[in-house]
Each structure stands twice: as C-alpha cells, then as structure tokens.
Structure 1
C-alpha cells in the first residue's frame, strides 16, 4: 500500500530562486527508501518539506499525499501539520544536541511527545511508556537515564533518545536525516541495526537520508539520487549501486570507492570519474610512498586522568582515565592513523601531542613545529575575520615582514585550490569543503613538520571528502610532513595512513602497519571495528 505520494515538489526562496524543482516519488508502508546526493543537493530540504518545517523564507509547492489524510499536505497550515508531526510522520535529525532541549531531562522530552498528541491518558502512563521505549532503543538502566540531561549522555545515547522520541507514537513514516554521520563505526552499526529492527517490527515506512553509499546499501530496498535540487535517478538498491544509468550516480560510486585511483594516483571525485576511466577497485596509478625520515614527535608513558564532581559534599572526586601508558614515535613522512570508538581517547591523545593539553603522567617530545586541522572548520575559523587574516594569523610574531606574509598567504591558498579573491571574504561565504581547505591552508602557512588532523573529513560528502584527502596526500608528500590522522572512518584510515594505532578506553590494544592490522588483526576489538565497516553492494 502506498503510504506517501510526492508529485512535482518544489521549494523556492522569497526572491523566486528555485532550490528544489519538481521532485516526485512514493514510499510504501514498511518500505525502506534511501535518499542520496552531495551537500546542497536538496536532501534535507526535501525532508523538511515533508515535515512542514521549512524556514519562513522558503516556500513549497506541488503535491504531497499521506494515506488516510485528506487534501494536499503542502497546503496544510502549520497548526494542522503539528497534529501530524510526531504522530504520523517523525524525524530523526543528524545532530541530537541541536534537536534535544538542554534544559529538560531526556525522559521528560520523550514523554512530552506522547502527552502533546494525547496518545497516553496520564503522566504516569507517559512515564511507563517512556521507560519501555528507552529499553526498546537499548538504553542501559532506563530508570537512571530518564532523569539525565542531554549533555550527560554520549553521542550514541543521545541518538537513541531521538529515535525513542521519533517512534513514541508509532508513526507511519520515519525520516532519518544523516542519523549516524558523527558516530564511530561500531555505534553506527548499532544505531542502524536498531532503526531497521524497530521499523520492521512496526511496519513503518523509512526515508533514510545519507551521503554514505555503503551505509544506504545495507539499509534500503530502493534509492533516490538527487543533484542540484532535482531527482536524477531512482531504482532498486542493487540496480543503483551496481548498474547506474546516470553519470552523476556513477560519479558518486567512484568517489565512494577508496580502493580505486585515477591516472594521477588520486581518489576519484564526481568530476574526475567521468574522464578518468573509473573501474571498481582499479588502480590506474599506485600512489607514491613518502620516504620515512627522522623522529619528529615522541610520547613515552602518556596518561591522562580527568577529575569529575565529588561524590557527596566531602566525598572523593570521580576519576576518568582517558589515556593509560601510551607510547609512540612519529617520523617525517609517516602517516599514522588513530582509530577507536567514542571515548577511546583519540582526541585526548591528539590534544596532548599537539600541545593543547598536558598529560597527567608521561613525556611528550616535539622536535619540530606542529599544526592542527579540526573536524568543524566553522568552529575553528573566526567568523568575524577575513580569510586572508585567518591564514596569516599563525605567521604573526615570527618576525616575517608583512609583504612576505601576504605572499605566503596567497601561495598557500593557491596550493589548497582557493582563489586569491578569497582573502577579503568571510568563512560563511564558502562551502564546507572550501572551509576545510582554508583550515588546511592556515595550518600549512608556517610550513609545519607535523600535521594533526582530527576527524578532518568526517562531515564531508563523498566527492568533497575525496578532494580533501587527495589534497592532504599531496601536501604530505610535497612538504615531507608527518601526518597524525584521527578518524572513526576505518576505510579512510586504510587509504590515507601507513601505520595505525588502535585505542579502546584509553589503552593501546594494537599498533602496526595498516596492511598487517587489516589483514591479520590480533585484538578482538580491532576485529569488531573492522566487521562494523559498511560495505557497498557487490564490493
């Protein structure tokens, strides 16, 4: 039975600019449909249109019909849409800290979804049902978690709370907008399995939005492909991922294939796939292996303990051991990947090695200059500073004349593919991929010997990810850098790094060359991480 019918859906700005143009598709009851495309393709706007949650400066037109509801949902006033949201159509957002109210306990927020729609007849019933839902989404100790606030939970726990809220009223359609982007592979696998189990048990229709083609491969029966606000291809998952008809879909598949290389030895992007003779897993040219030189950074017996609140008025303070007795060496030209689940100590180790935090015990020795590229460029780039000043800032205080600084800024922006006209613009005027390039330019302005990358590509779509990874690989080779690369994406680590160190709850469980770790992992935890990596159909 057809649950949702969308016909010629469009979204326009107040100035008449078209953001989405005449998108049509259906979703059956219990069907799992994937919506894929790059950033800016219109995936999230489509989802917000279905929910009636477009910003005030945007308007939708076309037709949306939901089984059992009269009329066109596009024409529903907000008051009427509120009766559907959370009851018949629900949504799980990408960032739970934005979607959850920081001033309410998570239990109260789940209960409110039911009391608002009157699907329970008392507050006690809402509490009992909330506890059942928390257990359904595999929250340990629901009674305790009920009274906690969002900031007290891990990313995976917060995402489970959002799923409990979305399913509280047994909706007919669940929309998931990039629900696992920021999660490590094991938690991602758990969340995806949980969503699949719950929608199958309830017979819920699912619209799963993601830029991760391997992930959608294991979730959905049918796939819709969007580009620039238009639906360019649709079909079964197997057909789309093994025999696509549109060049853009073929480009997305090529950019997702981290085992293949184009004639220049680079990862494929959507643009280069059309001209580079892409074949799955084929290496036109093997990337050059940088020569390994002297030690530029070392850590010996590094531990880090964080002290929390006291237990009682005069009780002991809670101790969290984020790192325990970590030792390593990083050599010029070496590309060391750091992997592990949330809370494993990856970012803590990076901050200590980069000089942004101090170890509780142990010694860190820097032989050379180091710089950091963070995950979120909008959080690390000052929104009030122009790009030229941002890239120049690390050069200040080094005794370099102003004319030489400006020349260096222009040089390094050119190296990362940003035009000279960028110097007078602000961060918000650039795309996410461009902002990350600017972050890399700032880090390279002082010609460092060690580059720290903390989840530097985790928030990027597959084609932009390939561009940034190609850039990093080239710069590491050109500058003779040592690269310290933290990522929860094991597929990226395998392709970017020569060596890997596996962390679990602050302990090093395994370390060695990437090929050896992937081919013959010794630790159960490493095998668990590798087993959780999503894979494309037929790969």
Structure 2
C-alpha cells in the first residue's frame, strides 16, 4: 500500500430539505482509499452509505439536497470545489459507479453496445466506429456475457438480471477508471448470479487496478471481497478497520449486533440475537450516540445520551464511549446464539472474566429444540402439481408454446413443521405457494389439505378452507391497503369470517398486535406510518388472526435489513412453538432457510431436485445444483489465505418454455455427461434423502 490515498473523504456532511424537516443523511464521514485496494462500506438502510457515494460523485442535487461541508480530495483536487465541467470529465473516466438497479440505470431504448460506446467516447473521442464496437465486444466478453458478438446489439430488456449487472460493470470499467464505486451491485440477484458478479468485479479490479468501494449490507460479501471495512450507522462512521479485525474482534456494539443477527449457513445457531428496535429517523436522531436507543451497553449512562462519541484508535477505530466493554458483550451474545462466530480462539481479558450483560427487554430469544422435525399429523400433501401457461401469438391468439412454471412438484407438510422451499428466481417457488393457496389454478396434480382434495374446490368451498391456511407476502406495503387503519386491516378477516363481533374484534386485534410485538395503541395508524419490519409484523398478525394450521410465507424477510430480518425470524419461530402452525417457507436465502426450517426442498426449473431433513440437505447435499447454491453463499468470515472454493454456475436458468432435453440442469452442471442430456432423472433416495440426479453423491466443499 502506498503512502498517499487516491481518494480522501474528510468530515463529509450532506443534508436534504423535506416537508418533515432537514434530513441529516451524512454527518462527518471520513475515510481514505488507496490505489488497488478494496474497502467495504456496510450498514442498514438509512445509514448513509449510498448518499456518501452520491456526494463523492456530485450527484446530490440542489435545491433539496446539498453537501453542506467537508472535502472529497481526488489526486489533490477537492471534487466539491471543481467546476461542473471538470467534475463531469472525472465521472466515468476516472471515477466510475455501478448502481444497484441496472434496469433503471440502463437506457431501455438504446442497445447495450451503443451505451458502452458512449462511455468509451468520453475518453477516446477519435476512436473509429469499428474500434468502438470491437472494444465493446471485448468488454462484454471480459465480464462474462455469453456470445458477446450477438449480445452487443441487444437491448437491456433482452438481458437477464445478472447479465444487465455485468453490462453495467462493463460500462463502468470501459475507460479503466482509477476508482470504482459499486453500490449494492448484487442485492437483487440470486446467490449463484451474485457469485458470478463478484467474480466479475474481481476481474474488473484486476484488469484496471482500480481502487474499489463496495457498498453493501451483506457482511458475507465484505468478508470475501474487501480488505478494509467502514461500518456506518445513523449517517456516521461508527467503526473502521481491516476486515480480519472487524470480524474477529469488533469494537462497536452495532457491529456486534450485525454479526449476531446473521443466520449462518455453515453451522446451526440456537437462535439469532437481533438488534432491538428500529434504525433512527434521519430527521429526529437521538441526542448523543446515534446507537444509544438500541445499545445493550448504555445501561442508562448519561454520557451515551448526551455526548456523540468520536472515532478513537489507530488502525482499528471505534466510536463508542465504552470500547473496553465490547468484548464482554460479544461473548455474552455468542453464548446466546450458541456459537462462537469466529473460529480464532482468544483468551478473555482479565478485567472482564465472568462479567455478564443482561439482554434488552425487547430482545426475542427463541431456542428451537434439538430433537428431529416434529412428526405431527400430515396437513398438506401436494402430488404431481403442474402449472403451465400457454404462449399465444398472432391475431388469432394461436398457442405456439407452453411455459412450464411448475412441472410436477410433490411435497408433504406436517403440523408444527417448517418446509423450506429454495431455488433461484424463476424456478417456480412462488407459483407453487400461490397455487397451493389456490390463488393460481393448477394445470394438473392434486392438492390435499387435511385429507380433503381442494384442487378443484369452488370459490365458496375455498372460503372455509382459507380460514385454516393463510399467506404472508414478500412486500408488506403492497399487500396492506393504505386506506385502512392497522386495526381495520388485522380485524378484516375476523369480520369476513364472522368469528368475532363488535368489541370482541377490537379486543382480539389488540391481542394479535401484542403477540407479534406491536403496541395496540398504534391500531389507529396507517401502514405508511410503520417501518418495513413493523409492516411485516402487521401482515403476520393478519395472517394468524383466524388461527390457521398452515402459513405460506413467500420471501417474508428478503426486503428487510439484517437486524430486522432476525427479529421477524425469531418471531416466526416463537409463533410456531406457541401456536403449532405449519410453515411453507419460500426463500432464496439459504442461511435463513437453514435457521427456520425442519425440512428443505430445492427447486430448479419448476421441479424438486432434492428434498430431505434440513441438516441432511445442507451438510450432505447430493445434487450438484444444491451443492452449487451452497458453495455460492458468502460466509461472513474472512479467509486469510487464498479464496474459498466456489462452484460458479455458467450461464442463466434455461427458458421454462423450452427446457433442455434430459435433465433440466445438464446445461449448467459440472457433472453432466451424455446420459444426462438424454434421460430425465427421477427423484429417488440417495445417501439418506431424495435427489433427482444420475450421479448423486456428496461433494466436499472447501469453506
């Protein structure tokens, strides 16, 4: 590492004027970036990560937003003081940015190749048309876009999500920038595509030797990609240091909370230990330390609520008044979750031996049983379920093909049990869940609920069935009527099914709100007045109002910050223990599925390819697709030497309207042989559970 940073941010302050008041988005942020290194900026939504990057590039627009003070020094020049023309020349040429959502960042009416050529022209105005096209193809090939010579002329809507993100990276590195800022570049992607994009980022960094800033909420990505970490909370930097130190010995209670909120793929945790409460409002932040309302070290000490702590330390710095107490807090949390997060052993400091910290009153601690999955009465049996959609063309609507969204799914679920349904986007998970609920019509197969065939049940018959089976959707805001109060939303199913009347409805709604951790006093508020995690609690309260036997949970925590996600997971586990509800838990996050499930079914292109008890599937997977998914999940634990071995799948999921012959997975499988391309494997027992592979068997994955 050279002595001089290529980018230096000093005391950056950014504010926005809103109708509710001044939003203090960034307050005094400072960090250095050196040539060729990669740093990670992590924190929850609203912590100021993205606004910091926008401030660096001069993308905060007046009159509502402005950088109030500070310095952003790039190669000796303060970017906050250069002219708009100079800043425009630096952007894209010297400092490039990869945005979170490529679909909104790419122009939909201009081909991808032309957009790359526009980037190239900014630094090479005299480059010929043929040379521009040739370089565009080279860049697409560099980032792994298949058949780049053909793809260069296509439009963004013709690319998959992973390919669009690769195209964004190609545009960003077109002019070999010296600084590359990646703002949540893998947030909306499946874990397999995320692994591909992470490899592309490494390739891009190696190709250009760019200093890289990775902005993310995924600590696993940071552990694998970055050499230094900046942790932000409430618009401030609360901890910074090298990646090994941050993960091995965090020195701020917020960092400890983030690590303890993470479900783990590499081991079974007794429980998650979420950070209580919600992130602070950017308009009315608490006085003193911004983390003090959620901190387990505060213990009513006045200094925490009166004085903002400054970053202290040398290479590893923390903004906490009681840094010396953080190791004790961490050991307490490790005992609560039932695992030492970092494998490096260390002796406790003599001063804090035997010290214990009480958990906060609002912390939900749930310890699942170590016994095998509950073997209650079977309540759901799905046999040969198919959901096909015709493809029509021409003025007469002639059927020219079929989309096989779900193509022969068999699952069973018992009372008090959780079945995790996992797979990449487009594999048919959500369609399966909605069809079981009869929100979609099945093409073939049978759905039996409590022994009753509801596959062709009429609307009137389904009314009675749906008292006992409910659904929690991925986006709680779009599933809650914004015109109804929370009391009305939760009480609506009680009135529709006439299970409660008059004052009894209001009493029951209050009980339900308390059960999911909400205050009944807030029943007159509307959905927009609650945070994302609180809205998801409202959706759960409404779903359990009729005391159902089955809940279908469709990605219920995917849009939440890690600490809020942990609260919802613990809440669901608590409700299952108390009420005996069975869950069909649909998710793409394998670590979350491992934390909450008893059994796991893995889907690929509309079919179940592996199913069994949770630990069997996760610890002894036999299908190459499951093994690929597991190997691609970032583990929040830095690797000191080399990199973890990954099975990086090539290409995207095939078109469900034209699946490959033989095994659906053969086009991406590292075990595929000629036999796989000819014969479709059945779901059969292999090594203790079911797997649909001709060459099923365990594979040792290096972690």
**So what's the TM-score if we normalise by structure 1?**
0.91
Q: 1:95 to 1:228 in 2, by over 3 A?
A: same
SS at match of 2:59: coil
**Does the 8 A contact of 2:366 with 2:570 survive in 1?**
no
2:601 aligned with 1:520, yes or no? no
Q: 1:53 to 1:302 in 2, by over 3 A?
A: same
1:236-275, aligned counterparts within 5 Å? 236-256=242-262, 258=264, 266-271=271-276
Q: CA deviation at 1:77?
A: 5.3
1:298-447, aligned counterparts within 5 Å? 298-308=381-391, 310=393, 317-367=400-450, 368=465, 369-399=468-498, 400-447=500-547
Structure 2 runs not aligned, ≥5 long: 277-294, 298-328, 340-364, 451-464, 639-702
Q: 1:108 to 1:380 in 2, by over 3 A?
A: farther
**Does the 8 A contact of 2:15 with 2:66 survive in 1?**
yes
2:108 aligned with 1:9, yes or no? no
Taking the aligned partners of 1:88 and 1:533, their CA distance within structure 2 comes to 32
Structure 1, 33-42 or 145-154: larger mean CA deviation: 145-154
Taking the aligned partners of 1:350 and 1:371, their CA distance within structure 2 comes to 11
Taking the aligned partners of 2:386 and 2:428, their CA distance within structure 1 comes to 10
Larger % of helix: which? 1
- Tell me what 2:349 maps to: none
Structure 1, 80-89 or 186-195: larger mean CA deviation: 80-89
Taking the aligned partners of 1:411 and 1:79, their CA distance within structure 2 comes to 61
**Does the 8 A contact of 2:416 with 2:580 survive in 1?**
yes
Taking the aligned partners of 2:482 and 2:123, their CA distance within structure 1 comes to 41
Larger relative contact order (CA 8 Å, sep ≥ 6): 1
> Residue 58 of structure 1: which of 43, 65, 77 is its match?
65
Taking the aligned partners of 2:481 and 2:108, their CA distance within structure 1 comes to 25
**Does the 8 A contact of 1:182 with 1:459 survive in 2?**
no
2:379 aligned with 1:296, yes or no? yes
- Tell me what 1:110 maps to: 116
2:210 aligned with 1:210, yes or no? no
Taking the aligned partners of 2:553 and 2:129, their CA distance within structure 1 comes to 48
Taking the aligned partners of 1:182 and 1:512, their CA distance within structure 2 comes to 28
Q: CA deviation at 1:236?
A: 0.7
Q: CA deviation at 1:116?
A: 5.6
- Tell me what 2:347 maps to: none
Structure 1, 405-414 or 26-35: larger mean CA deviation: 405-414
Q: 1:420 to 1:285 in 2, by over 3 A?
A: closer
> Residue 451 of structure 1: which of 532, 535, 551 is its match?
551
Taking the aligned partners of 1:26 and 1:119, their CA distance within structure 2 comes to 32
- Tell me what 2:164 maps to: 158
Structure 1, 340-349 or 278-287: larger mean CA deviation: 278-287
Q: 1:525 to 1:402 in 2, by over 3 A?
A: same
Structure 1, 473-482 or 106-115: larger mean CA deviation: 106-115
**Does the 8 A contact of 2:366 with 2:574 survive in 1?**
no
- Tell me what 2:353 maps to: none
Q: CA deviation at 1:529?
A: 1.3
2:635 aligned with 1:535, yes or no? yes
Taking the aligned partners of 2:441 and 2:430, their CA distance within structure 1 comes to 13
Deviations 1:339-384 (A, max 9, x none): 1223222222122112221222212223452222222223323344
Structure 1, 284-293 or 418-427: larger mean CA deviation: 284-293
**Does the 8 A contact of 1:181 with 1:458 survive in 2?**
no
Taking the aligned partners of 1:477 and 1:246, their CA distance within structure 2 comes to 33
> Residue 148 of structure 2: which of 114, 128, 142 is its match?
142
Q: 1:285 to 1:365 in 2, by over 3 A?
A: closer
Taking the aligned partners of 2:160 and 2:581, their CA distance within structure 1 comes to 34
Deviations 1:30-82 (A, max 9, x none): 110001112221111111211222254222120001126x3x22234555433
Structure 1, 358-367 or 191-200: larger mean CA deviation: 358-367
SS at match of 1:475: helix
Structure 1 runs not aligned, ≥5 long: none
Taking the aligned partners of 1:35 and 1:323, their CA distance within structure 2 comes to 39
Taking the aligned partners of 1:94 and 1:426, their CA distance within structure 2 comes to 29
